[in-house]
Structures are given as structure tokens and as C-alpha cells.
Amino acid sequence: MAACVSPYYPNITKYENLFVVDGQLTNLTGPYKVKLSRTFKYDGSIGSKVTGEPVTGALVKIIDNSGIEIQLKEISSGDYSTVDTIFRGVPGKSYKLQIKTSNEVFESGYETLKAPTPIDKLYWDYKPQDNDGPKRVQLLIDTHDPTNNTRYYAWDFDETWKFKVPIDVGTKPEWKTCYKYNSSIFFNIGTTIERNSDIMDRHLLQKIDESSNRLYLRYTILAKQYSFTEQTYEYFKDLIKLNQNQGTLFDVTPYSLVGNVKNLNNTDIPVLGYFVVAGASQKRIFIDRSDLPLEFNPTDGFNSCSSRMVRVPASLTDFRQNHLVDSLMGEGYSIYEQFSVPLDEFTPGWQLSLAKPLCFNCTLTGEIKIPDFWIEKK
């Protein structure tokens, strides 16, 4: 027997330290952020790096076509942000990104900020189990541009949901209810270029099935819609295609996808990433558990939670001297309450309540503070 496929390990050391730019400017309220880092060699081994080294100490500016410069401040390692609260992108104007490090200068070309197209409708519908997946709630978008000038669209979103842990802690009632946040990682893109009219209907933004606790109590999503240039759209179309590797012989051959930023000191060295300049609009909706069909039963996210009660003598200087307490703590349990109780007529003791921390302290995965935009159902 002989193998018909042999591994091939290309020599790509030349591109192990490329500059990477991830930035965005829209007409929505800032701040606008730019992330700078460098590529690295990933070998898949345990302990291998999974993120690139941040580029610190750079001078980062956004410059418009009239010469106005807005400087960004480094707010954390490799993360730069505008601090001018008044500044925002203006539709019709062009902008470029300029980055200066100790020995190199990087610039994007001027990108024109297209006029934003409002979201006509952000809504949800319910899908029973079918060939496309389990029971699910789909978040959909309708939009159109009567001028037929947008054509290239992109979307991302921020979602927030309310959740409650199943175990109450009498001394910490604030640990009961929290809010969790999540943002989409990649742009969701679409185009109407092959349609007579610039209309997008029932575009799928997000889907949530019963395995998530997002819809167990109350949920909200803020959808942001971007008007892309054709060049920006094609870049992200290719990026998505490259990231949809299925591990088959028919996958797209990996290649270096170069964005709109160049190294002015050496244009032969590619720069990865993109400085997005786009008109944007946004819309928010809420979904309450009571709005959903009765047959849709999302998990609360705490199916494996349980509480154990253990009584120990008050004379113990360390509760782990008790073999049951020690065993539970070894499995990840923690003491969340203790009460003084007599073990018998002559022996004082403690009654300990133990559970895994995620089951009684919502702040470990969420935030107590109610978001400013949050609205409860009336």
C-alpha cells in the first residue's frame, strides 16, 4: 500500500513578520479604532502563538482630502483610537490612513466614504427543524437604495442578552442577573449588482438555535449596515473565501491577500489587512422569550449546575480537611454559603453550600450593570 498524497511544507519565512492593519471609519459616532500587529509563524503545536505581536509606539493619523489630520492615541498595546469626540466621517469626502513607526511609513490610498443606506427593516422569523439545521430563530434584514448607488453591502452586529444563574447567594443578590455581550467577528457581505434594482430582502444576519441561552430571557441585537466600494467588497469577498477552508482538494489555494495599505519605504513588501471607509446606518431590535413560539425551548445555559450541602465540624481549620469537601473542590466546586449548625448536642459545626462558581456568580461571564440601551418588555 502506498500513499497517494504527500505533505508539502513551503518555505514562507519571508512573510513571517508582515505588517497587519485593521481599521475602520464611518459616519456613525466614534471612536474609530485601528489595530496594528505583525504576522507570525504558526506551526499548530501546543504552546504555539495564536496572535501576532502588537505594533506599539506608532504615530497613527486619519487624513481627509482637504488635508485635515486626526491623530489616534494608543489606548492599549497595538490598539489606537480617535479621541476627538466631534470627529466623524462625512459622506462624499475621502480619507486615508497614515502610520509611522520608528523606521517605516505606511499609507492607504484615499477611500471615498459612500452615502449610508438606511436599514428598512430588521426582524426575526422562526424556522422549525429542517435540512438546513435544528429549530432556530433567524435575524433578517431588508434594505434598498432608490438611487441604485450602493450595490455593495456589508453588515456586522453587537448582541446583548440577559441571563440569570440558577443558584442564589443570600449575601450577594447582585450575582443573580447579568448581561452578556458578543460582537460578530467577520463582515457579512452581499451585493445587488446582478439585480435591476438595488434591493436586498431577507438577508440572513444571524441565527440562534436552542443550544444557546441568548433567547432564554431577553435579547437585543444592534445591526450595522455599511455601504462598501466595489474594491472593499471584493477584498472581503476574497477574505471570506479564504477563511472557508473545508479541508478538501477543492478548497481555494491559500494566498496572501493584500489590502489597501502600502509600505512607502518598500512597496515590494506586502501589507496585510484593510482600512475600511464606509457609510453606515444601524438599527436595533429586542426579542423577548414570550415573543417566541412555544415549541422553541432554548437552554438556560446551566443544565449541568447542581448544589451540594456538606456539614463539617467547627473545629476544622481548613474545610478541605473534610474528604467530601476536598473531593468537590477538586472537581471545581466552591463554597458560596456557610451557616453555623450543631452537628449534635455537643459539637458545633458548619453547613457548607458548594457549587461551581459559574452557577452562582453571573459576573464571571457577564456584567451586572444594565446597559444604557436596554429596554424591558412592558
For residue 153, is it within any domain? Answer: yes
Q: Quick check: 181 pLDDT over 70?
A: yes
For residue 98, is it within any domain? Answer: yes
Q: Are residues 147 and 221 in the same domain?
A: yes
Q: Are residues 161 and 246 in the same domain?
A: no
pLDDT at 255: 54
Question: Which grid coordinates belong to 100?
Answer: 509611522
Q: Are residues 27 and 106 in the same domain?
A: yes
For residue 365, is it within any domain? Answer: no
Q: Are residues 188 and 265 in the same domain?
A: no
Q: Are residues 92 and 145 in the same domain?
A: no
For residue 302, is it within any domain? Answer: no
Residues in the chain: 378
Q: Are residues 209 and 125 in the same domain?
A: yes
pLDDT at 17: 84
CA 317 to chain centre: 45
Q: Are residues 123 and 222 in the same domain?
A: yes
For residue 84, is it within any domain? Answer: yes
Domain span at 177: 119-227+287-291
Q: Are residues 31 and 105 in the same domain?
A: yes
pLDDT at 376: 97
Q: Quick check: 372 pLDDT over 90?
A: yes
pLDDT at 257: 83
pLDDT at 180: 98
Q: Are residues 236 and 108 in the same domain?
A: yes
For residue 4, is it within any domain? Answer: no
pTM of structure: 0.89
pLDDT (tens digit, 9 = 90+) per residue, 41-76? 765 555 545 567 999 999 999 999 999 999 999 999
CA distances from residue 193 to 75, 119, 121, 286 in whole angstroms, order as listed? 39, 18, 21, 31
Q: Among the three residues 261, 291, 321, which one is the final residue of a domain in this structure?
A: 291
Structural domains counted in the chain: 3
Distance CA 343, CA 296 (A): 47
For residue 184, is it within any domain? Answer: yes
pLDDT at 248: 54
Q: Are residues 243 and 269 in the same domain?
A: yes
137-156 mean pLDDT: 97
Q: Are residues 171 and 37 in the same domain?
A: no
Q: Are residues 87 and 217 in the same domain?
A: no
For residue 297, is it within any domain? Answer: no
